[in-house]
C-alpha cells in the first residue's frame, strides 16, 4: 500500500457523526481497509487499517493530535505522515476531508 500519486478517486465514506470524537473506525474504501480517526481538534485522518508490525487493528488504537497507538504492542504512527515513532515501517496515509454537508471523503 502506498500513497497514490495520480488519478486518486474520491470516495464518500460516512457521515462525520459516525466517527466518535477521539476514536477510530474501520471502513472498506475502494476495496481497501482504511481506518478513519476523528481527532479532538476536529481533524479527520485516514490511514491503512493494519499495523505493519503484527497486523493489529489500528482503528481500535488510541490517538492524540499527532499519533495513533496500536492496541496490540503500542507501536505509534504519525497520523499526518505515516512515519512510525517506534521504529516500525511507515503506514499509508490517504488524503481525507469533511464536506460542508458533514460527509467524510477519502481519496484513494
Partner 1 sequence: MTATTTRTSALPQQRDHKRRLVVVGNGMAGVRAVEEVLERGGAQQFDVTVFGAEPYGNYNRIMLSHVLTGQEQEDSIFLNSLPWYTENGIDLRAGVAVTRVDTFAKVVHDAEGGTTPYDVLVIATGSSPFFPTMEGLRREDGSMLDGVFGFRTLDDTRALLAAAREHRRAVVIGGGLLGLEAAHGLATHGLQVDLVHSPKHLMNQQLGPEAGRVLRRVVEGLGITVHTGVRTKGVHGTDRVTGVELPDGRVLDADLVVVAAGIRPNTTVALASGLDVERGIVVDDRMRCEGGAGDVYAVGECVQHRGQTYGLVAPLWEQASVLADHLTGADPTAEYHGSRTATKLKVAGVDLVQMGLPGPENDDDEFVVFSEPHRGVYLNVVVRDDRLVGATLLGDVRKTTFLQQAFDQGLPLPEERMSLLFDLGTPGEEVGVAELADDAQVCNCNGVTKGAIVQAVEGGATSLNAVMGATKAAKGCGSCKSVVEQITQWAAGGNLTVDESANWYVPGVPMAKPELMTAIRERGLKSVSAVFRELAPGGAEDAKSKMGLTSLLRMMWPEGIEEERDGRFINDRVHANIQRDGTFSVVPQMKGGVTTPEQLRTIADVADKYDVGMVKVTGGQRIDLLGVKKEDLPRMWKDLGMPSGYAYGKSVRTVKTCVGTDFCRFGLGDSTKLGIDLETRFQGIETPAKLKLGVVGCPRNCAEAYVKDIGVVAVGNGKWEVHVGGAAGASVRKADLLATVDSPEEVITLAGRFIQFYREWGNWLERTYEFVPRLGIERVRAVLVDDSDGLAAGLDERMQVTVDNYRDPWLEGQEPVTPGQFRTSLPLVDLPLVPRRPAGAPGGLVPEVHSNSNATPSTAEVSR
Task: Please state the closest distance from residue 85 (CB atom) to partner 1, in A.
Answer: 8
Strands 32-38 and 24-29: antiparallel
Residues near partner 1 (CB under 8 A), total: 43
**20 near partner 1 (CB under 8 A):** yes
Strands 76-78 and 62-63: unpaired
Cα–Cα distance between 51 and 90 in angstroms, integer?
9
**52 near partner 1 (CB under 8 A):** no
How long, in residues, is the chain? 108
Of residues 44, 59, 93, 104, which one binds partner 1 by CB under 8 A? 59
**57 near partner 1 (CB under 8 A):** yes
Task: Please state the closest distance from residue 28 (CB atom) to partner 1, in A.
Answer: 6
Cα–Cα distance between 25 and 60 in angstroms, integer?
7
Amino acid at each position: 500500500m502506498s500513497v497514490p500519486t495520480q488519478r486518486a478517486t474520491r470516495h464518500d465514506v460516512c457521515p462525520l457523526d459516525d466517527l466518535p470524537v477521539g476514536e477510530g473506525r474501520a471502513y472498506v474504501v475502494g476495496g481497501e481497509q482504511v481506518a478513519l480517526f476523528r481527532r479532538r481538534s476536529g481533524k479527520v485522518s485516514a490511514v491503512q487499517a493494519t499495523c505493519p508490525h503484527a497486523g493489529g487493528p489500528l482503528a481500535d488504537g488510541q490517538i492524540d493530535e499527532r499519533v495513533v497507538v496500536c492496541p496490540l504492542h503500542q507501536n505509534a504512527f504519525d497520523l499526518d505522515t505515516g512515519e512510525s515513532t517506534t521504529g516500525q515501517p511507515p503506514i499509508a496515509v490517504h488524503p481525507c476531508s469533511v464536506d460542508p454537508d458533514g460527509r467524510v471523503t477519502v481519496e484513494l
